[in-house]
């Protein structure tokens, strides 16, 4: 279908000449409401093209459980942390946390890293003291968790609560511990550092988009997650982990030290991605799945970084070049690898669909987006992506139906309102378009492109009335 808008009144979707990639991070305080993080991109590559989304890429680990408010903590004496030489108090040279510090030194100076080393040292000392008379390993970990909250005033929070971090910092161990706010990744990293010195058999373990720790001494095995003990079935049920992913040993097992180093690399790659440094992000993602070949999230996130590079290249060249196609094809490979590991992940199929659409395979895109819906039939984002596929082929009525379902499952999905407004505009339903765009601005006021689109639609209505 041709563009019904004249050259003098084209819909605008961005005021920038370069693709703007942003993360829509949703707070998750209840396991029954776990939602996928969404990578959205605003592009002005063609007249009338509306926002596109890559669903379900876990760039930042989401916290699975609610956090205790600092207002509800018992009044205890806060530890006065004094700088000390970490070697003097037993942070061993072979402690895996040193590898994490070495990685993060690429983002922070030696002084910043040393301050965090000095902060970890007294934590380890007090953990030794708090657990020396406790025999049950579950109680040992609970005592350390309580100590971190009460004595070191550490808050355990998801990414939505980390508003005071600099962009790109909120997933690094250095930034999180500096600000006394740990997410699921950095909580696990700190416990691994403590466990090494206390000789606790603690390992990192993964669920989809989530990291936690696992006590495994060969006799006793249990999962420890934000101060609580959970069986494997808890994660299988709430993350809807596929049987094949379990068979493939992707989730719910103790990671080796090498695989844990892979997680460290992914964590740094996520920070690079958030900074818009996609080339560096890809480098560290590749390091991640080289060390941890079954890291499904690393493949998904690497695919998103490649897609972002491709989109950026299109915004510069104003067309799809062979270089751009190379980025999209590599993204297709990443998403395919993720699906091989976990064929039950709707996000991977939806991401793959968008990558195929960008690479010029609309039928393949449609097939994969439909698979995503079958796997997650009440997911706003999979319907949103299906709407993008239908919209790109001019099937605006189908696209409107998809966006409407996306809104049903998440009535705060501003991108769905925006794109539905665009589809209605192309069908000359200008009043409907204006209504959807007004809702977009209500949810996301910082959208000058949407303001411009409303003006265009109003001009169309004025012309019709005349």
pLDDT tens digits, residue range 427-466? 999 999 999 999 999 999 999 999 999 999 999 998 887 6
Contact status, residue 224 vs residue 19, Cβ threshold 8 Å: no
Give DSSP secondary structure letters for 268-324.
HHHHHHHTT-HHHHHHHHHHHHHH-TT-HHHHHHHHHHHHHHHHHHHHHHSS--HHH
Q: What is the pLDDT of residues 245-272, one digit of tens each?
A: 999 999 999 999 999 999 999 999 999 9
Task: Return the closest-CA partner of residue 266 out of 297, 305, 225, 306.
Answer: 297
Q: Is the pLDDT of residue 88 over 50?
A: no
- Can you tell me which residue has the tokens 């209605």? 424
| Position 128 confidence tier, pLDDT thresholds 50, 70, 90 | very high
pTM across the whole model: 0.80
CB-based contacts of 71-76 (< 8 A; 24+ apart in sequence)? 73/149, 73/150, 74/150, 76/150, 76/151
DSSP characters over 37-63: -EEEEE--SSTT---EEEET--SSPPP
State residue 400's pLDDT score.
98
pLDDT at residue 165 is higher than 60: no
Q: What tokens appear for 455 in the block?
A: 């003006």
Task: Tokens for 325, please give them.
Answer: 């196609």
Cα(63)–Cα(379) distance, rounded to whole angstroms?
19
């Amino acid at each position: 279908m041709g563009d019904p808008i004249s050259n003098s009144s084209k819909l605008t979707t961005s005021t920038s000449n370069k693709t703007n990639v942003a993360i829509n991070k949703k707070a998750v305080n209840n396991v029954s409401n776990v939602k996928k993080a969404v990578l959205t991109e605003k592009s002005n590559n063609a007249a009338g093209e509306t926002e596109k989304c890559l669903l379900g890429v876990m760039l930042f680990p989401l916290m699975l459980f609610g956090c205790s408010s600092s207002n509800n903590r018992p009044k205890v004496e806060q530890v006065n942390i004094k700088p000390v030489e970490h070697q003097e108090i037993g942070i061993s040279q072979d402690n895996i946390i040193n590898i994490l510090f070495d990685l993060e030194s690429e983002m922070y100076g030696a002084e910043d890293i040393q301050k965090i080393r000095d902060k970890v040292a007294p934590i380890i000392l007090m953990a030794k003291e708090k657990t020396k008379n406790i025999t049950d390993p579950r109680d040992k970990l609970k005592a350390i968790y309580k100590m971190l909250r009460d004595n070191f005033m550490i808050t355990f929070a998801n990414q939505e609560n980390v508003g005071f971090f600099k962009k790109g910092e909120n997933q690094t161990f250095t930034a999180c511990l500096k600000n006394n706010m740990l997410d699921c990744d950095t909580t696990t990293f700190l416990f691994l550092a403590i466990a090494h010195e206390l000789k606790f058999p603690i390992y990192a373990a993964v669920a989809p988009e989530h990291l936690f720790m696992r006590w495994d001494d060969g006799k006793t095995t249990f999962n420890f997650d934000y101060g609580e003990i959970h069986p494997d079935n808890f994660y299988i049920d709430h993350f809807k982990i596929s049987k094949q992913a379990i068979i493939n040993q992707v989730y719910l097992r103790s990671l080796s030290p090498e695989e844990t180093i892979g997680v460290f690399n992914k964590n740094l790659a996520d920070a690079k991605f958030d900074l818009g440094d996609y080339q560096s992000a890809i480098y560290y993602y590749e390091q991640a799945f080289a060390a941890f070949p079954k890291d499904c999230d690393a493949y998904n996130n690497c695919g998103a970084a490649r897609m972002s590079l491709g989109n950026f290249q299109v915004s510069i060249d104003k067309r799809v070049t062979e270089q751009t196609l190379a980025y999209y094809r590599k993204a297709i490979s990443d998403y395919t690898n993720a699906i091989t590991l976990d064929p039950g992940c709707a996000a991977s199929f939806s991401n793959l669909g968008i990558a195929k659409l960008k690479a010029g395979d609309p039928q393949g895109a449609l097939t994969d987006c439909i698979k995503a819906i079958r796997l997650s039939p009440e997911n706003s984002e999979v319907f949103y992506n299906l709407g993008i596929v239908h919209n790109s082929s001019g099937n605006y009525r189908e696209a409107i139906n998809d966006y409407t379902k996306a809104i049903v499952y998440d009535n705060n999905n501003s991108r769905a309102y925006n794109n539905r407004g665009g589809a209605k505009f192309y069908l000359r339903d200008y009043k409907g378009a204006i209504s959807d765009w007004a809702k977009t601005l209500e949810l996301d006021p910082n959208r000058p492109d949407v303001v411009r689109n409303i003006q265009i639609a109003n001009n169309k209505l004025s012309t019709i009335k005349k």
